Amino acid sequence: MDRRRALAYARVGGVYPVVTVVAAAGIARLVGWNVGLVVLFLSMCAAAALAAVLVSDTGGMRPKEADRGVEQHQGILGMDMSILAGSSGESVTGAARSRQARLRVYAAGLFVLTVALVLVLGGALPI
């Protein structure tokens, strides 16, 4: 991996999650909310984003024979959800793939950071 790509991964997976947690904790402190609960909420959001990216990448682990039409891909609002999942037949562009990769790295970094903070703030890991 070249240096530029490694720095980009460090920025997206390390710096951005730290900035997100610090901003959320600061806003929670100003509003008067419990900082631990806000960090726990961020952890759950990061886990949901990781799950969504995984399902989008794998197509929900469904074999291609199971796709019988657009009706199975329609969501609650009747929209074609295969566009979001990238399984509509056309190839995913490089920009969309890059966006998913950045989201995966950011969500993984945020999840690891917030889980560590939840363990520390919850008293499971004494400092």
* CA-based torsion, 11, 17, 22, 24: positive or negative: positive
Q: Is the pLDDT of residue 79 over 80?
A: no
pLDDT at 119: 86
Between 116 and 87, the more confident residue is 116
Pull the structure tokens for residue 122: 């919850």
Share of the chain above pLDDT 90, in %: 33
* CA-based torsion, 73, 52, 35, 106: positive or negative: negative
Q: What is the mean pLDDT of residues 113-126?
A: 81
pTM value is 0.69
